[in-house]
């Protein structure tokens, strides 16, 4: 059903307000309220089973392109180690391993991002927009044609996005939106080429050689410390981006989710 401009602006104001304190007191838009009626009990049940309060104090999304997994992690308190709530299947893919560097390359980005837009009227059921390009991408990519509009969304088609079908996106959408409302902060999403344990890194090095792209290994080596830090601590680190090279590095443990 087409949206009028008036209804669209009202919806945008409500969803966009998810990042400010007053949003917690606002009612959901009608379509989101309808979805919440069936999806919220499912996601609350998953949080309860893991002993995590809902909405979470901290939330974290972690995607692995090779394995086709999107993980949802949460914690009840800022100082708590995070707990895996569920792993959702990324049901379609485009491009190949490696970062996104320009418009039209069909690549899913790799690196460290945040969710910064919510669309309950997406053409792919619902969507969460990733803040690609980030500061690293703007240094390393095509400066005049980086592309954008990278989403985690429903349905099962993609050109550079992360589709997880409709029921899963309902759960993830609500968990992210509600955590953002509670904490007044953006939820981080880290996108890796693969699980970066020893086996994964060895496989990726071989893949880079097969593609004739040895520079990929250096890029992936920047991502690995973030993966290893979280594996060891179950906390999301603060990540630095070098202003000149765009290189990533782990700065320190995060005190919030503003990586």
pTM: 0.86
Structural domains in the chain, CATH included, are: 5-194 (2.40.440.10)
Catalytic positions, please?
153, 161
Cα–Cα distance measured from residue 247 to residue 179, given in angstroms and rounded to the nearest whole number: 29
Give the pLDDT confidence score for residue 28 in this predicted structure. 75
pLDDT of 4 over the 60 cut = no
pLDDT tens, position by position, 74-88: 999 988 999 999 999
Torsion angle (degrees, nearest 10) of CA 247, 249, 251, 252? 150
pLDDT tens, position by position, 92-121: 999 889 999 888 788 999 999 999 999 999
Q: Residues of 24-38 as b/e, b for ≥16 C-beta within 10 angstroms?
A: eeeebbeebeebbee
pLDDT tens, position by position, 172-224: 999 999 999 887 679 999 999 999 999 999 999 999 999 899 999 999 999 99
Give the pLDDT confidence score for residue 6 in this predicted structure. 37
* Location of structure tokens 């893919």: 93
């Amino acid at each position: 059903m087409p949206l009028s401009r008036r209804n669209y602006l009202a919806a945008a104001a409500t969803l966009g307000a998810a990042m400010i304190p007053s949003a917690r007191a606002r009612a959901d838009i009608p379509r989101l309220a309808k979805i919440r009626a069936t999806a919220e009990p499912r996601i609350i049940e998953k949080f309860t089973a893991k002993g995590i309060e809902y909405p979470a104090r901290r939330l974290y999304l972690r995607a692995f392109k090779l394995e086709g997994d999107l993980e949802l992690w949460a914690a009840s308190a800022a100082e708590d180690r995070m707990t895996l709530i569920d792993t959702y299947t990324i049901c379609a893919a485009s491009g190949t391993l490696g970062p996104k560097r320009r418009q039209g390359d069909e690549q899913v980005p790799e690196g460290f991002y945040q969710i910064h837009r919510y669309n309950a009227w997406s053409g792919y059921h619902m969507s969460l927009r990733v803040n690609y390009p980030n500061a690293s991408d703007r240094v390393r990519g095509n400066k005049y044609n980086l592309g954008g509009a990278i989403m985690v969304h429903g349905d099962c088609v993609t050109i550079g996005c992360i589709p997880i079908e409709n029921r899963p996106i309902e759960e993830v959408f609500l968990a992210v939106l509600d955590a953002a409302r509670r904490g007044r902060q953006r939820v981080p999403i880290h996108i890796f080429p693969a699980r970066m344990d020893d086996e994964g890194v060895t496989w990726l090095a071989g893949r880079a050689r097969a593609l004739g792209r040895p520079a990929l290994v250096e890029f992936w080596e920047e991502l690995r410390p973030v993966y290893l830090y979280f594996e060891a601590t179950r906390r999301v680190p603060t990540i630095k981006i070098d202003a000149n090279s765009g290189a990533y590095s782990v700065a320190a443990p995060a005190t919030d989710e503003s990586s």
